[in-house]
Amino acid sequence: ALADYVLDQMHVSSDAEVTIIFIEPEPMEDLHVRWLDLPGPTDVMSFPMDELRPGTADHPTPPGTLGDICICPQVAARQAAESGHSAAEEMLLLATHGMLHLLGYDHATDPEREVMFALQRKLLLTFLATR
């Protein structure tokens, strides 16, 4: 439901493919080291395929393969406890974050971070309000 909602809000074809995979800390750590050269398991990693970008209401992005999102539930649960919300809410946040990365958003610089995190918050809050 969340992935469909994000695709709709970002004007990407509902036929676009995205895979969300829940993995244990050890394989997540392997991915984290292999792709980012950073130690330890992380919460979410995204692996884009067709490099689809958001469309507009008049010109939605055509179907394609967005890519894969890997989420580590154990890291998500720890972060949720530290932040004072449920693990389910944290995993929705991480899935939204991963979707935005697949759509080309990043947070390497302060301006990028502001844009991405504001959009992430808006998408998640409006999704939760519709449930």
Q: What is the pLDDT of residue 62?
A: 87
Q: Which long-range contacts (CB under 8 A, 24 or more apart) does 80-84 make?
A: none
Tokens found for residue 63: 């179907």
Q: Could you report the average pLDDT of every consecutive run of 10 residues in the chain (131 residues)?
A: 94 93 97 95 95 89 94 97 95 97 95 97 95 82
CATH match of 2-129 with 3.40.50.300: no
Q: What is the pLDDT of residue 84?
A: 95
Q: What is the pLDDT of residue 21?
A: 97
What residue spans define the domains of the chain? 2-129
Q: What is the pLDDT of residue 36?
A: 93
Q: What is the pLDDT of residue 34?
A: 95
At residue 41, what is the residue type? P
Q: What is the pLDDT of residue 39?
A: 94
